[in-house]
């Protein structure tokens, strides 16, 4: 995530220090549908958030959760899920729209556009 700001990192560190675990999130803006073979339904996006990285944790908490994940063969998509699987809570902080993940060629194009617009400012 090349455009993660220092302010976001500070928010994550502060929240992880206070609550043991913290992740940045952004509210979803698009309409989200659950699609099954039987039906489609619109989900209430007011309760849905996109999770970003970096994520922050007390060292012992994330190490213990990682050990349990290996022992129990948990399949998770992020470190916060490891912590939640142990029964611990993860606090949230406001993420940033420019804190994009680069996974696909389209993401890279978007990142290049952001970088160019930043250098023109």
Give how many domains the chain has, as a whole number: 1
Q: 36 in a domain, yes or no?
A: yes
- CATH no. for residue 28? 3.90.550.10
In the predicted model, what is the mean pLDDT of the chain? 96
Confidence class for position 26, pLDDT limits 50, 70, 90:
very high
Q: 88 in a domain, yes or no?
A: yes
Evaluate whether 68 touches 74 at the Cβ level (below 8 Å): yes
Residue with the bigger pLDDT between 57 and 1: it is 57
Structure confidence by residue, pLDDT tens digits, 38-84: 999 999 999 999 999 999 999 999 999 999 999 999 999 999 999 99
Reading the block at residue 89, the tokens are 């809570």
Q: 76 in a domain, yes or no?
A: yes
Q: Is residue 109 pLDDT above 80, yes or no?
A: yes
Q: Is residue 121 pLDDT above 90, yes or no?
A: no
DSSP per-residue codes, 6-71: HHHHHHHHHHHHHHSEEEEEEE--S--EEE-SS-EEE--GGG-EEE-S--EE-HHHHHHHHHHHHH
Q: Which of 106, 103, 107, 61 is CA-nearest to residue 84? A: 61
What's the confidence (pLDDT) of residue 77? 93
Q: Is residue 119 pLDDT above 90, yes or no?
A: no
């Amino acid at each position: 995530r090349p455009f993660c700001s220092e302010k976001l990192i500070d928010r994550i560190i502060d929240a992880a220090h206070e609550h043991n675990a913290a992740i940045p999130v952004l509210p979803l803006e698009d309409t989200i549908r659950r699609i099954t073979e039987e039906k489609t339904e619109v989900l209430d996006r007011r309760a849905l958030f996109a999770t970003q990285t970096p994520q922050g944790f007390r060292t012992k908490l994330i190490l213990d959760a990682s050990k349990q994940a290996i022992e129990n063969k948990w399949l998770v998509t992020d470190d916060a899920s490891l912590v939640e699987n142990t029964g611990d809570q993860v606090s949230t902080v406001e993420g940033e729209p420019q804190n994009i993940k680069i996974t696909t060629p389209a993401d890279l194009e978007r990142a290049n556009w952001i970088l160019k617009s930043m250098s023109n400012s």
